Structure 1
Amino acid sequence: MADQQSRLKIINDNPIGKGLDAFRTSFTSICEGAAVSCTPDALEQLGQKGKKNLAIKLIAALQGLQTSLLLPSNSSTLDSHSNDILIWKYVYDVTEPTPPPRPVASSLQQTPSRRTTSSLVNSSEYHDNIDPVLKSELGLVYVDVRRFREAYFGGCMDSSNPLFGSEGWSEWPAGSRGKRSVDIGFVKDDFTYDPTADPTAGKVFRYHLSHALVPGELKSNPSADIPSIAMISIATYAREVLSAQDTRRFVLGFTLCGSYMRIYAFDRLRAIASEKFDINKEGQQFVSTILGFLWMNEEELGFDPTFMTANVGRATTCWKARREEDPQNPLVIKDSWQWPNRDEEGDLLREATGKGVVKVALYYHHETGQVNGMDDDIGSNVRKGLDITSATNYGKGRSVVSPSTSAAGAPRKGQSSSATGTKRSYSQAGAPLPPSKRSGSAFTIKAGSDLLLNRIHRRVILRDYGKPIYKASSRAALLTALEGCIKGHESLYMASLLHRDISINNLMINEDENNPSLPSFLIDLDLAVRVQQEGASGAKGKTGTRAFMAIGALQGEPHSFMHDLESFFWVLFWTCIRYNAQGKDIGSTGFDSWNYQNDHMLVQSKKGEIDDEEDFIKSVTEIFTLHYQPLIPWVSRLRRKVFPDGKRWKRLEPELYSSMKQILRDARKDPEVLADSIM
């Protein structure tokens, strides 16, 4: 009995945690290879060889855990229902390997056009959640693309001097809660090296994602060179590098699984990969690859050569800029990768400004990016015209890409930034702005039922800039800005344009008296469409940022202005549960799962919040931050207006615009709401 208690304490003091993640990945890979569903029942279908393989992998994984070194070596078992204890029980019994916990439900069939990494809002991003979304977003990565190395390494003879790092990369802040760290890679040389640091502490180098040039992933097992294992890790690093470095057009990376090396290119569409090669047998190719990375200049590494920046912020694709001949009126340059079959955001913004739309960022100019003397796109420029149909897995699996899909690592567009920058083509004194133009490089590949769409590098220049609405200085300022943005949406709709992506990052506030921009306004017409005034847009497809999407939109209804007005309600709701004064994020909440739930579950979650007024008030009293507690009666009043009788609206009601604005105005008269403005 004493031995049992001692063993129990050791197990409880040394939880397995994520120590079996690699084994679970192997289990998934083995099941996929055998065309078996990844559930505990799979053991009955894998056969003796599959079971033996899993047992070896499980034992190897457990041997690497601290607990295995501490447990006494007898075979008695423990009578407990703890997951860790049960796992160690099976190890002691040495019977059959314990099947891994049921994996997270696959998101591959769950509307991948919206469950993307770019749509995650305030998410803690545990790998158990982010990996399925990232895998769905990437879709099918084409491997063994011929002439890959010639296309990407052919011109890298200009000398540059990045440092080749290894151990230090494990100290990067990885960005996601799981703290997955990069194994190996190339970094810039503008970091501090401390020669007195203790090497055994693993902190000789201190890197940030802004230093990353080429991330790498190491796997000891050669069989890990399959998309479900090595690819998801390197894709995570590429996503974070794309998010951290504003001027990246693409990111190169590599995997080394055993002695097999493969090179990847991640862009704003998805990813492609070279043929693998054995570094032990093809040493010259390995050395030339490493030297190629070292010799590449910034443009060849994926940086945008048309931008020179200073003090660039993290995870944004907008820059505040000034024309030398007119420094008093700053502009905002929005840089994005658009689907060629969509109306250009620049055209829609120009149309809105021309029609006198109010409370929407004013248009100034738009164009297609030019690199190497040609329109910048993925197919013919970033990927150098490589023939994707040469990939060995071309045509396999799901390869249809929806126009509303956001590519791997693509950050949300339209977020304002205090960063400054100078665009080369506009930096010359007196140089006129070039005329607007459409891209002529709509590069499309079609083979059988497969359709791979292109993305085109476009820029929009706006006259207004601000900060996201949740950063308002007071409750009253938030409500005023929200009312202004609803006015902007109504004005946009009256001009026959429907926004379709109302979110906390697309509603802006300007409280800077030195900023000549609008006090509040809408941005980001990436998903906007032209509509008639009858109501629904008729546009198919579920678009928007998941946490703020209307219930009906999640259910596939044709998008109408009512869906967007419901999204305004969810923006206010989210702000009140997630932020304190001055937009201070309180951290993870129980609503992070709204980023990952499938449509059905998310619909039920949202209905559960609003279907009963008494339950709603009780719930928000518990979950609203202290700063936003005074808004509870007013948010409840909005709920009654947006969801009459606790249900969704049954008909289109244009008067909902005026009703919502009136509630916000009345709320600003509440002394409790105004208290933080007076202090």
Structure 2
Amino acid sequence: MADTSVLEISKAKPIGKRLDAFRDSFSFVCQGADVPETLEVLDIYLTGIVLQNLGLGVVSALQTLPASRLLHSTSGDKNLFSDLLRFLAIIGSNDFDVKRIVPLLRTVLSHDADEAVWYKVYDIVAQSVHKRGDEPSTPPPSEPTRTASFQQTPWTFNTGSFVDTSDLRRNVDPILKDDVEDNLKINHPDVFDTFFGQIPGLREMMSAILQSCKEAEPPLFQEGVGWVEWPERCDETAVLQFLRRHVDQFQQSANDHGFRPSKRRRCITTPNKPIPGSDWSLILVPGELKSNPREDNRSSTWLDLVRYAREIFSAQDTRRFNLGFSLCGLIMRLWEFDRLGVVGSTPFDVNKEGETFISTILGYFCMSEQELGYNSTIAGEGRRYTSIQRDDRTERLYLETLIKLQRSVAGRATRCWKGFAEDLPDQQVVIKDLWEYEERPEEGLLLEEATEVGVKNVVRNYHETVRLGGRVDDVLDNVRKGPSDTGGWNPLQSRAIRPEPVTSSTTSGTSGAGRGRGRGRSRSNSRTVTRKRSSSSIQASMPPPKRSCSDSPVKQDTHRRRNRVHRRLIVQDVGKSICEARSPRGILTGLLGGIKAHESLLDANILHRDISVGNVMLNMAEDDEFLIVLDLAIKTDRTSASGASSTGTKVFMAMGALYREDHNFMHDLESFFWCWQRRVSKFQAWNFESTENLAKIKKCSVDEEDKFAKEVVENLTTYCTPLIPCTKELRKVVFPEGKRWLKEGRGLYSRINSVLQQASNRLDTLE
């Protein structure tokens, strides 16, 4: 059907009302954001995350239309449906400029003619999908003069290190479970006190409402019985009705007693279906509803909530931590998700402990933004800004566009925004927030040292440790507020030892509800969501932990105090990934500059260890280049390892690094080759391979010259055809005779540079 016109297919397979559901979701987003339901909000009011979600929604809707399977592909694939499938991954990446989706949104929301919609789809897809099997990467992290084995930092991978992935549950769930395996505690007695115990007036409010429930006609709550209207069989629909009705009554009763939150919040219940509009940017507190109380002790319940927390962290770029809850039958448990992992409270029976149930519900509705986990150092409703202290004065920095966000729960959680200083509006900067292990060398200090010794092609920066509430913003003391290290246990670790039963959260929780703390502004139009899963999808109960030891070189010592600190860098050099290069020369320029910067760092005794397409940058004119991100870099003369797990981008790691060899500069140089191969390899499946399998796959891809050359010719686009000879030569240099290097040699720098420079000279002759 490639020759059939768009107009003919549009008439044969009309869109009709099939996009109305998406248009309804746009209405829902506008209502939730409290903005007018007009097309102008696409340019003025809606944030990048909201636009990204709308883009995902409209492309998903277009994919379901029959015409998408008849219209021709823009890249030689089977049909437009295939292009849209890859385009979904592109929209979800951090490289995508969400403003590019606005014209398509306008066309769909304006009810334009079918052919106008499809022409607009072709315009945006043609700009983004260059070739079959190639999607832009989401820049994350990877791994580094020879360092002794005792200097090496153990490493693991989490969902923040995925590249070019569509985030299918079958792929994400196993790694998400591994992500929190060492970082989960349940039955911690301090959770309620920590997050609810200091809300002003909560205890008095709870007492007044509980008394009102007892005195109502007929009574809502009775001692020895519990909640009178609680459904006996915990049927899904009945429990959701109970929650909606009683939450509204709690709010009304609180209002009648003079307890009025500054902003009204709503409870959303969406059983077995996505939230309308799938807009996680509006969700304050996720909840998981199960019908069976035994499911409170099953890993599937906890991992469902971890998945929701990951979505919220991904949709809300200023979230420091998340609070949530699970309700399994009558058993309720409170949860906290942060950059160290997950903490669950002791469970309680909502019928036997009505005070705690009321305090929990009211607490969620009365918390300030900061108490709900938002970063109050970033302020402003429309034009967001943050402030830094430099040279004894306060500077205001405005945040314009989110350009990088790691999709993970525990981890560094890197966020980067493009912005500018208030007094220098024409000079762009990048504001980077991340959560580093406190024992790691600060990335900002390494960049500062590199600048002082004259390292070439490395970003210039200012750095500081974020302070919130007059304290250093870290997880253990500022987020979790110093809960007992001895409380709770980890059910996912066989080596854990289950402690003696602890007291219910009611015992300690409600007693502290009256202690006050300074209030922040409440977040408007915010919501709580509950969701129910059928019992057929639940895993078996977790077995009781056994006393044993692990000899794994990757996992951490769980008895060691681990902490992450919130740090911020202001980077003066703004650029783009080599994947966004407009020409083959841009790609060459990026790699030449990246390798020059890497060798210059090595001369300063700094090993980068994080070579990936997201960290080799071009300036916007594509005539200069630089390396970014030193958060995994180490000093080559250090005498001990930091002890924290490092995270790498597996698809770019050297084979030896995947085999867990001591990381040295040769591994980084091989990573530059895999960055180059980014354009000819199908990386998506690589995210989910084991490290050893991936090393074998990489070896097979380069060991035979004829096979390698055939793959290069078949996969490179016309755009990159001039680079075919260079690609073949790079393989010969990095893998002599198709084999991994066995000896270190700094001569590899000059050999790679020679190949790239010759390719650049050939381009001169072609031009």
**TM-score bucket (shorter structure):** 0.5 to 0.7
| Aligned equivalents of 1:448, 1:495: Cα separation in 2 | 32
Offset, 1:145? 0.9
Aligned to 2:188, what secondary structure does the other structure show? coil
- Whether 1:501 aligns to 2:610 is yes
- Whether 1:372 aligns to 2:469 is yes
Q: Deviations over 1:453-510 (max 9, x none)?
A: 1101111222111122211111211111111111111111111111001011111112
Q: Deviations over 1:610-669 (max 9, x none)?
A: 111111112233344454344333212101100001001121121211221221222234
Offset, 1:264? 1.2
Which residue of structure 2 lines up, in the alignment, with residue 350 of structure 1? Answer: 448
Of 650-659 and 157-166, more deviation after overlay is shown by 157-166
| Aligned equivalents of 1:463, 1:290: Cα separation in 2 | 45
Structure 1 residues 542 and 674: CA distance shift in structure 2, 3 A: farther
| Aligned equivalents of 2:302, 2:311: Cα separation in 1 | 14
| Structure 2 residue corresponding to 1:659, chosen from 737, 742, 751 | 751
On the 8 A contact 1:244/1:315 being kept in 2, the answer is no
Structure 1 residues 313 and 323: CA distance shift in structure 2, 3 A: closer
Q: Deviations over 1:247-279 (max 9, x none)?
A: 111111222222222121111111111111222
| Aligned equivalents of 1:669, 1:382: Cα separation in 2 | 55
What amino acid sits opposite 1:497 in the alignment? I
| Structure 1 residue corresponding to 2:625, chosen from 508, 514, 520 | 520
| Aligned equivalents of 1:452, 1:395: Cα separation in 2 | 19
On the 8 A contact 2:579/2:613 being kept in 1, the answer is yes
Which residue of structure 2 lines up, in the alignment, with residue 268 of structure 1? Answer: 339
Which residue of structure 2 lines up, in the alignment, with residue 240 of structure 1? Answer: 311
Structure 1 residues 452 and 219: CA distance shift in structure 2, 3 A: farther
Q: Deviations over 1:564-619 (max 9, x none)?
A: 00000001111344xxxxxxxxxxx4x32321222221111111111111111122
What amino acid sits opposite 1:378 in the alignment? V
Aligned to 1:356, what secondary structure does the other structure show? coil
| Aligned equivalents of 1:550, 1:399: Cα separation in 2 | 34
What amino acid sits opposite 1:650 in the alignment? L
Which residue of structure 2 lines up, in the alignment, with residue 668 of structure 1? Answer: 760
What amino acid sits opposite 1:455 in the alignment? R
What amino acid sits opposite 1:242 in the alignment? F
| Aligned equivalents of 2:755, 2:165: Cα separation in 1 | 30
Offset, 1:387? 1.1
- Whether 1:162 aligns to 2:265 is yes
Superposition TM-score, scaled by structure 2 size: 0.57
Structure 1 stretches lacking a partner, 5+ long: 1-110, 173-204, 401-446, 578-588
Aligned residue pairs: how many? 468
Aligned to 2:456, what secondary structure does the other structure show? coil
Which residue of structure 1 lines up, in the alignment, with residue 690 of structure 2? Answer: 598
Q: Deviations over 1:138-175 (max 9, x none)?
A: 01410111121121123445633332212299435xxx
| Aligned equivalents of 2:654, 2:745: Cα separation in 1 | 15
| Aligned equivalents of 2:297, 2:708: Cα separation in 1 | 47
- Whether 1:259 aligns to 2:368 is no
Of 639-648 and 272-281, more deviation after overlay is shown by 272-281
Which residue of structure 2 lines up, in the alignment, with residue 336 of structure 1? Answer: 434
On the 8 A contact 1:529/1:537 being kept in 2, the answer is no
Q: Deviations over 1:489-542 (max 9, x none)?
A: 1111111111001011111112249xxxx8311111011011159xx9999987
On the 8 A contact 2:439/2:642 being kept in 1, the answer is no
On the 8 A contact 1:609/1:616 being kept in 2, the answer is yes
Offset, 1:112? 8.9
Aligned to 2:187, what secondary structure does the other structure show? coil
Which residue of structure 2 lines up, in the alignment, with residue 362 of structure 1? Answer: 460
| Structure 2 residue corresponding to 1:632, chosen from 724, 730, 736 | 724
Offset, 1:113? 3.3
| Structure 2 residue corresponding to 1:457, chosen from 551, 566, 572 | 566
Q: Percent identity?
A: 43
| Structure 2 residue corresponding to 1:122, chosen from 150, 164, 176 | 164
Offset, 1:449? 6.5
- Whether 1:149 aligns to 2:178 is no
Which residue of structure 1 lines up, in the alignment, with residue 355 of structure 2? Answer: 284
Which residue of structure 1 lines up, in the alignment, with residue 674 of structure 2? Answer: 570
| Structure 2 residue corresponding to 1:133, chosen from 175, 183, 187 | 175
Offset, 1:127? 1.6
| Aligned equivalents of 2:719, 2:324: Cα separation in 1 | 44
Which residue of structure 2 lines up, in the alignment, with residue 558 of structure 1? Answer: 662
Aligned to 1:352, what secondary structure does the other structure show? helix
Structure 1 residues 115 and 564: CA distance shift in structure 2, 3 A: same
| Aligned equivalents of 2:732, 2:428: Cα separation in 1 | 41
Structure 1 residues 652 and 555: CA distance shift in structure 2, 3 A: same
Where does 1:139-538 land on structure 2 (aligned, <5 Å)?
139-140=181-182, 141-157=184-200, 159-167=262-270, 170-172=273-275, 205-226=276-297, 228-308=299-379, 309=384, 312-313=401-402, 316=405, 317-363=415-461, 365-393=462-490, 397=494, 450-512=559-621, 519-531=624-636
| Aligned equivalents of 1:564, 1:520: Cα separation in 2 | 17
| Aligned equivalents of 1:619, 1:479: Cα separation in 2 | 20
Structure 1 residues 296 and 168: CA distance shift in structure 2, 3 A: farther
| Aligned equivalents of 1:381, 1:358: Cα separation in 2 | 38
- Whether 1:613 aligns to 2:705 is yes
Structure 1 residues 304 and 651: CA distance shift in structure 2, 3 A: same
Aligned to 1:206, what secondary structure does the other structure show? helix
Offset, 1:395? 11
Aligned to 1:390, what secondary structure does the other structure show? coil
Superposition TM-score, scaled by structure 1 size: 0.64
What amino acid sits opposite 1:161 in the alignment? R
Which residue of structure 2 lines up, in the alignment, with residue 420 of structure 1? Answer: none
Q: Deviations over 1:534-571 (max 9, x none)?
A: xx999998763111110111112221111000000001
| Aligned equivalents of 1:349, 1:136: Cα separation in 2 | 32
Structure 2 stretches lacking a partner, 5+ long: 1-152, 201-260, 385-398, 406-414, 498-555
What value does the CA root-mean-square deviation take over the aligned residues?
3.0
| Aligned equivalents of 1:234, 1:542: Cα separation in 2 | 25
| Aligned equivalents of 2:481, 2:581: Cα separation in 1 | 45
| Aligned equivalents of 1:285, 1:354: Cα separation in 2 | 56
Runs of 4+ aligned structure 1 residues displaced above 4 Å come to 392-396, 536-543
| Aligned equivalents of 2:641, 2:192: Cα separation in 1 | 45
Aligned to 1:142, what secondary structure does the other structure show? strand
